[in-house]
Amino acid sequence: MNPLPDRRCILGALAAIMLTAAPALAADPVFPVNSRIGLVPPPGFTPSTNFIGFENTAASAAVVIAELPAEAYAELEKGFTDEAFKARGMTVTLREPVTFKDGRGIMIAGPRVTDGAKRHETMLLAGLSGVTALVSVQMIEASHATITDAVLRDALKTLAVRQVPDSEKLGVLPYKLGDLAGFRVVRTAPNGTAILTQGPNDAVTDVEQPFLLIGIAVGEAPKPEDRDTFARRLFSAAPGIKDIRITRAESLRIGQMPGYEIVAEAKDAKSGIDVTTVQWLRFGGSGHLQMFAIARRTAWNDVFARLRTIRDGIELR
């Protein structure tokens, strides 16, 4: 007996099963640019270019995504009450738990009145994969007839977390970072904010790792004679340190632009560990670039050399 027809029948049956099953396979989550959090958006929604999330302009609807540290979940959960939402104009008509493979969450929904306009909002608070996700789906009241709770439930259950590629993190910045000198990029934002660290952890306590924060401020740059006062005022607002003693404050050139440097010894406000900090300001015609770094004093000499390498490699796009 020739076995070939049987084999063909088996292969044909398998192919038929695969083709039949293909449309039922779940779509992959879509991640907005530079976002660790993504999901399979509801039908008609596409990634937004105006905020982190998705939008459906025809339905006047938006899915807004916010990422917070993992430890934020417990505190936010306490405020996820019907009374709290009522105070901001929302009447909760749906509340249910959501379970993820690696976490849990709460989904609520209901009508909301804002400035006299009636809308519908669905919110998801979720803790998964080491992050807290807060997702808000907002739409005009009429759109809720088609973008139903069931549709949104299916979409929100696909919430997923990823590691954002460095190229994507760096690509949203209005400046280029050159040699990272052993540091790595933790987080960035299109407004120019960047957080870098030397070490494996994204969030640390007791200054276990050096950190560098970069930001851009728009506005008229101070006159040369006012730069010292301006720099000291900004430095006085530096978070997380106490018992500050400035050891150096002077003008310098940074990337062929005028700048100002403040180096100070201090203590970590929480642990009391000795740290050293530096603030660099690089002045431009319509604002300034601010860099603030902190490290344990015992590691400062090596860290400071690396920080200067990063500082000198920043180029405006």
Q: 40 near 155, Cβ under 8 Å?
A: yes
Q: Buried (b) or exposed (e) across 12-43, using 16+ Cβ within 10 A?
A: eeeeeeeeeeeeeeeeebbbbebbbbbbbbbe
| Topology alike, domains 26-161 and 166-316 | yes
What number is the average pLDDT over the span 209-234? 95
pTM of the model as a whole? 0.81
Q: Report the pLDDT value the prediction gives residue 26, as an integer from 0 to 100.
A: 56
**Would you state the pLDDT for residue 203?**
81
Question: Any idea which fold 166-316 has?
Answer: Protein Transport Mog1p; Chain A (3.40.1000)
Which tens digits make up the pLDDT trace of 88-129? Answer: 999 999 999 999 999 999 999 999 998 888 999 999 999 999
Q: Any idea where the domains of the chain sit in the sequence? A: 26-161, 166-316
Q: Pick the closest to residue 100 from 132, 137, 147 (CA basis).
A: 132
Report residue 221's pLDDT band, with 50, 70 and 90 as the boundaries: confident
Q: Which CATH superfamily is domain 26-161 in?
A: Mog1/PsbP, alpha/beta/alpha sandwich (3.40.1000.10)
Q: Give the pLDDT confidence score for residue 11 in this predicted structure.
A: 34
